Each structure stands twice: as structure tokens, then as C-alpha cells.
Amino acid sequence: MLTALLLCALALLAVAGLAALGRGGERRGAALATAAVYGGCLAVSTLAFALALAALLGGVTSGLTLPLGLPWLGAHFRLDALSAAFLVLVSLGAAGASFYALGYGRHAEAPLRVLPFYPLFLAGMLLVPLADDAYAFLLCWELMSLASWALVLAEHRPAENARAGFLYIVMASFGTLALLLAFGLLAGPEGRYAFAAMRVGDHAPLTSALVLALALLGAGSKAGLVPLHVWLPLAHPAAPSHVSALMSGVMTKVAVYAFIRIVFDLLGAPAWWWSVPVLTLGASSAVLGVLHALTEGDLKRLLAYSTIENIGVVFIGLGLALAFRADGHLGAAALALVAALFHAFNHTLFKSALFYGAGAVLAATHGERDIERLGGLIHRMPVSSAAVLVAAMAAAALPPLNGFASEWLAFQAILVSPDLPQWALKFLIPTVGTLLALAAALAASCFLRAYGIAWLGRPRSAAAAEAAETDRFSGAAMAGFAVLCVLFGLFPGAAVDALAPVTERLVGARMPAQLGEAWLSIVPIADSRSSYNGLLVFLFVVASAVIAAAAIHRLASRALRRAPPWDCGFPRLAPSMQYTGASLSQPLRRVFGPVVFRARETVEMPPPGSVAPARIVRERRDLAWEFLYAPVGRAVGRAAELLNHLQFLTIRRYLVFVFLSLVLLLLGLGLWS
């Protein structure tokens, strides 16, 4: 099974090679290449999905060492429950994106800037969870990073894309560096680079703390944890939409995988305080991410900010699992870990569908991403609008959809936590719970705004008024993922049970089996504590709605007359008089903005009698950027300026420098021994 999965990755590399060889000068060649590459990727990732699912459900564990990479090490690959779970997620997202791209990819302006890198990206993401030594892991990780960087720069002409690409490569390199150092510390002075050797070695508390910090930096920067998130809302939207879906929905999860692999698996038994930074970062990411999304006007960037929120939720679950595991509450740890993993999976489902929807909007309106210039798409794009509505409700964590099921599990995990003995956690966890609830409520407002402004109402621009339904592949991909969102909301027990081998492997316990429960409810701990049945809630709601509608139509009245909108008698409504996205979020911006973004609004009213226009200026600042990145950037610039002088010296001075450094080195060597 492992071999087959590796062959899948190899096949993707081969597809990439073929795509790079092709010369798509003429249009027909490009269309053919598009269909061939995405079709190939679809076939391979569907196969990989089947294999990974079989491995997860069958409990397959196998290892393999190939004579590649470092000569004394070889390349180790291993398939266990954790990697199988993440491979299911990766390959499902990849299959969906490839299918979507069969239609959407035809809109690409320069397909050859996308086609070779797309399979490479997929191969990187498939290989990372399989890697079983530090060298192979980092190699695949870099393959994933660089391929996605190339995809971010697929449309490299706009200045903002170039900036996004630059910021992304800097942050990706920084993240890889942090992971490299983490693996270095784990490997120890003897150089145990294979994961199997790291697992059995024991680590000093200081080393463990450093590895945890480095893992948070390395994996967290790729996943988009605040304050390492600044690149994400720029880079994810810059790529073509199917790649955005992969980067937001799948690549961030590969980063989550890296964190789990290092912290839960390689680092050994956790100390209780490890959960503190994880919970703090997770909770702040959840709230800040959604607040940014709530005030963002760019459709794709809004989705990218919402990714930060969801990654925050996942990390809250992971932090809880660490705390429970350290204190020996293994059942609760399993519950928290399942909540995190299930939410990661759910996020892949709804975020993919949402990005597909954004891509469909882009294709239909010739690249309109500003929600203030959209509107009324529900009339012109019926299939997409229904699919995106389901995905948006899932992202808003509303029952009976899947996003709610996983957040419900996270809340249940928080409710078990008063048993923890540490005082810091007793104060931290309720606060985290509040922030989680706040993030969920704000997410509902955020997606209300995203959907209500972009898809409902009346068109605010000519492009939106002339939009047409998307192609069949895109529509089917979107609808498929929306259906999955519903299914996992109705039957969350299936996902919980499938994740049991992962929690058994990582925390040594599992949640009670769910599929045997009456009526397919989920019962995380015991019947008397809590239970939730998405299926019955859904059936009850639908049944009573249908009964009410049927009864009223049959017994009372079914008459209907179309008329102009009432609007309290206000005549002749122009589309520009609708509420805009900015005005819809104004109350929340006013409540949270001054604290979180140092936001300011200044209104300039002309004096009475003047015909000058009134102005409103909104200002929003990203404090992480101002206080963390800008100073570092300035310091690097200043250092470079200083060092620049070294380039213009005379030969004598260079000789002096060489001599001095030689003396210093020898001195150091002498003193050392």
C-alpha cells in the first residue's frame, strides 16, 4: 500500500515532467495539455484517496527504505494511521481541485505557468505525510513550498502578486529553517535523523521546549497561526482559484500534520505547559483571523483570513489534547484530538467548495474579486449559489452541517477540562472557550456578509449583472463538496470512528465507538453528558418545514403577486443604495476595530452650502505587521546598507580582512582546545 502511494507521487512527478516538456504555443495544444494534466492528477489522486482510506480503515502500518537521499541514511517512508488520515484529506482535496480545474483551468491565461507546477505541488503534499526521516521530510516539504510558490506567481505581472510571492518565499524559507533546526535538536549530536530513532531517544526538558517553539514557528508559519500569518492572505488568493483551494484547504493541513508528527509523536511525553502557547496562539488566531475576514472586501482574501480562523480552532483542539495527555486524561485527550482532526478535515471540505465558488465568480465576472462590485449572483448562477450557501453555512459552524459537528466536539472537550490540576489552565481554558464561541459567532457574521453581499441583493456592477453559470466540471466539484459537507454533518460518527486508530496511536486512547449508537448520534463521553444527532435535527427541521409549507399551501392560500420592493414606501431603488459589505460590518468594526486593528474612521463633512463631496476615510492596521515584521524588515535593510560598504573597498583592505579573520579563527581554535 505504501509502495502504491509512493508510485502515485511518482506518477504525479511524471505528469509534471510531461507538462514541462509540452510547448503550448497554440490554443488547442494548451487546452489539450490542461485536460491531460488535470485528468492525470484527478486519476492519481483518486487512486491515492482510495489507498489512503483503505489504509486508515484497515489499520495498515508499513515502512520502506529506499536507497535515495543521504548515503548513510537512505530515504525512509512509512505509512501509519496519522499519515493515512492526512493522506485521505490531501488526496480528497487534490482530487476535488483537479476535477474542478478540468473546467476552471481553461480560463487560465498562461496555462503553462500553472500546469507543470500543479502536479509537483500535489506530489509534495502527498509525500510529506509519508516521509519517515528528517531529510526526506524536509525535501518533500520544500518541494511543496517551492511548487506552491511558483503557482502563487502564476500571474506575476500585478505588483501585489509579486509582493505576495516575495513575502511567501521569505516566510516559507523561515519556516523550513525552523523545522530544520527542530529536527536537528531532535536528532541530537549522534545524528538520529530517522523518525524511528528520534521517537525512542529521550530529550532534555530544555531541548523539548526549544523543539516545541521551533515546531510552532515552522509548522505554524505554514499553517497561518497569528502572528505568522501575514503572508497567507496575500499568497493564497494570488494563485489560481483551484490552487488557492489547495493551499488554504490542504497545504495548511499538511503543516498541521507536521506539528502533530513532531510534537505528539517524535517529542515523547508532553509537559502540561506545552498546551499554553498552543492554546494561546490557537485562540488568538481564531479570533483575529475571523475579525480580519469580517472586515475584508476581497472575496478570496476573506476566505484566506477565514482559513486562519479555522487553523486556530484546530490548534485549540491540539492544545487541549496536549494538556489532557500530560495530565493523564487520555479519553479527553482523544476527544480533543478528534475534534481538531475532524475540524481540519471539515475545513478542507467547505473551504475547497468556497474557493471553487470564488473561482466561479471570478470566471463569470471576468476577475471581479471585490464583493462591493458583486451581487445578485443567486439569480444567474443557481447551482453555484446553492453549493456555496451550504459551504458558507458549514464555515459559519451552523447545524446540521459538518463545521458545527467538529466545533461541538471542541466545546465538549473544553467542558471536560476543569479536572485539570494546573491553575494556569484553569484560567486559560475558559477564556479559550469564550474566544472559540466568539470566533464561531463572528464567523457566522462573516459568512453572512460574504454570501449576502456577493450572491444576494442586486448586481452592483455590469460584470455582476452579466454573470453566467459556471461550467459543468466546476459546478459538479462544488456541488460534490457541498454534499460532503452535509453528509459529514449528518453522520459525524463515521469520521470519529475512522479517526480512532490515530488517537490510539498518538494519545493511547480512543473515543467510544459511535456508529453503534442509536439513530447514529454522537456521544463523546456518555449518554448522560451530551449527545448530538445531526441526522435527526436535519430530518425534524426539514419535515416540519415541508409539513408547514404543504399545510399552508393546501389549506390556506397559495396566491402570489410580484411587485416592486416595499422598503417602507421608498420608490426607485438603485442598486448602489443597497447596504455594502463595508456598511454591513460597520457595527462590528466599530466595536472590535479600535482594539484589534487600531481602526479609525474619519468623516469629513463639507460646510453647509458647499457642493464638495463628503468623505469617509477608513483606516485599518495589522498590528502584527507593524510591530513584528516592519521592524525586522527595517533592521535587515539597515544591516544590508551597512554591509554594502564592504563591496567597495581597496584590495589592501580586503587582504587585511582576510588576515584578521584568519587570526581570529586560529585564536578561537587555540582557545577552544
Partner 1 sequence: MVLIGELAAQAAQMLLVLLVAPLLTGLVRKVKARLQRRRGPPLLQPYRDLRRLIGKEVVLAENASWLFRVVPYLVFSATWVAAALVPTFATGLLFSWTGDLIAIIALLATARFLLQLAALDIGTSFGGIGASRESLIASLAEPATIMIVFTIALIAGSTQLSHIAAFMGSEQVGLRVSLAFALVALVIVAIAENARIPVDNPATHLELTMVHEAMVLEYSGRHLAMIEAAASVKLLFHLSLIACIFFPFGLAQEGRDLLAYAAGAGLWLAKLAAGGVLLAMFETSIAKMRVFRVPGFLGAALMLGLLATLLLFISRSL
Site for partner 1 in 414-433 (CB under 8 A): 414-415, 417-418, 426-427, 429-431, 433
Q: How far is the CB of 483 from partner 1 (least distance, A)?
A: 18
* Residue with Cβ nearer partner 1 (424 or 605): 424
Distances from the Cα of 631 to the Cαs of 60, 166, 288, 624, 636, in angstroms?
49, 17, 21, 11, 9
Buried b (16+ CB within 10 A) or exposed e, 131-154: bbbbbbbbbbbbbbbbbbbbbbbb
What is the chain's alpha carbon radius of gyration, rounded to the nearest angstrom? Answer: 26
* Residue with Cβ nearer partner 1 (228 or 440): 440
Site for partner 1 in 136-165 (CB under 8 A): none
Name residues whose C-beta falls within 8 Å of residue 575's C-beta, 6 or more positions apart in sequence.
375, 457, 458, 459, 460
Q: How far is the CB of 454 from partner 1 (least distance, A)?
A: 10
* Distance from C-alpha of 241 to C-alpha of 359, rounded to nearest angstrom: 5
Q: How far is the CB of 492 from partner 1 (least distance, A)?
A: 12
How far, in whole angstroms, is CA 263 from its chain's centroid?
19
* Residue with Cβ nearer partner 1 (103 or 489): 489
Binding window for partner 1 (CB under 8 A); candidates: 197-205, 232-240, 394-402, 603-611: 394-402
* Residue with Cβ nearer partner 1 (352 or 417): 417
From candidates 51, 332, 397, 498, binder to partner 1 by CB under 8 A: 397
Asked if residues 321 and 340 have their Cβ atoms less than 8 Å apart, the reply is yes
Site for partner 1 in 586-615 (CB under 8 A): 586-588, 590-591
Q: Residue 280, interface with partner 1 (CB under 8 A)? A: no
From candidates 445, 470, 503, 514, binder to partner 1 by CB under 8 A: 445
What letter represents residue 40's amino acid?
G
From candidates 20, 330, 537, 599, binder to partner 1 by CB under 8 A: 537
Distances from the Cα of 491 to the Cαs of 86, 401, 538, in angstroms?
20, 10, 11
Q: How many residues does the chain have?
A: 673
Q: Residue 566, interface with partner 1 (CB under 8 A)? A: yes
* Residue with Cβ nearer partner 1 (109 or 419): 419
Grid cell 526549544 — which residue?
210
**Is the bond preceding 227 in cis, omega lying within 30 degrees of 0?**
yes
Q: Residue 411, interface with partner 1 (CB under 8 A)? A: yes
* Residue with Cβ nearer partner 1 (457 or 501): 457
* Distance from C-alpha of 583 to C-alpha of 590, rounded to nearest angstrom: 11
* Residue with Cβ nearer partner 1 (93 or 459): 459
From candidates 408, 481, 488, 629, binder to partner 1 by CB under 8 A: 408
Taking residue 368's Cβ as centre, other Cβ atoms within 10 Å add up to 20
Q: How far is the CB of 541 from partner 1 (least distance, A)?
A: 5
Q: Residue 273, interface with partner 1 (CB under 8 A)? A: no
What letter represents residue 593's amino acid?
G
Taking residue 430's Cβ as centre, other Cβ atoms within 10 Å add up to 13
* Residue with Cβ nearer partner 1 (142 or 517): 517
* Residue with Cβ nearer partner 1 (191 or 587): 587
- What grid cell was written down for 13? 512527478
Of 401, 404, 299, 270, which Cα lies nearest the Cα of 359? 299
Site for partner 1 in 323-382 (CB under 8 A): 375-376, 378-379, 382
* Residue with Cβ nearer partner 1 (382 or 631): 382
* Residue with Cβ nearer partner 1 (90 or 336): 336
From candidates 276, 437, 476, 487, binder to partner 1 by CB under 8 A: 437
Taking residue 666's Cβ as centre, other Cβ atoms within 10 Å add up to 10
Binding window for partner 1 (CB under 8 A); candidates: 134-142, 231-239, 256-264, 413-421: 413-421
* Distance from C-alpha of 513 to C-alpha of 332, rounded to nearest angstrom: 14
* Distance from C-alpha of 43 to C-alpha of 303, rounded to nearest angstrom: 28
Q: Residue 449, interface with partner 1 (CB under 8 A)? A: yes
Buried b (16+ CB within 10 A) or exposed e, 551-570: eeeeeeeeeeeeeeeeeeee
* Residue with Cβ nearer partner 1 (274 or 455): 455
From candidates 148, 208, 503, 578, binder to partner 1 by CB under 8 A: 578
Q: How far is the CB of 424 from partner 1 (least distance, A)?
A: 11
From candidates 8, 453, 485, 502, binder to partner 1 by CB under 8 A: 453
Q: Residue 478, interface with partner 1 (CB under 8 A)? A: no
Q: Residue 552, interface with partner 1 (CB under 8 A)? A: yes
Q: How far is the CB of 582 from partner 1 (least distance, A)?
A: 10
Q: Residue 440, interface with partner 1 (CB under 8 A)? A: yes
What letter represents residue 612's amino acid?
A
Grid cell 578561537 — which residue?
668
From candidates 561, 572, 645, 652, binder to partner 1 by CB under 8 A: 561
Q: How far is the CB of 390 from partner 1 (least distance, A)?
A: 12
Asked if residues 185 and 211 have their Cβ atoms less than 8 Å apart, the reply is yes
* DSSP single-letter state for residue 628: I
* Distance from C-alpha of 74 to C-alpha of 177, rounded to nearest angstrom: 22
Q: Residue 320, interface with partner 1 (CB under 8 A)? A: no
Site for partner 1 in 502-531 (CB under 8 A): 521, 527-531
Asked if residues 254 and 128 have their Cβ atoms less than 8 Å apart, the reply is yes
Size of the site for partner 1 (CB under 8 A): 87
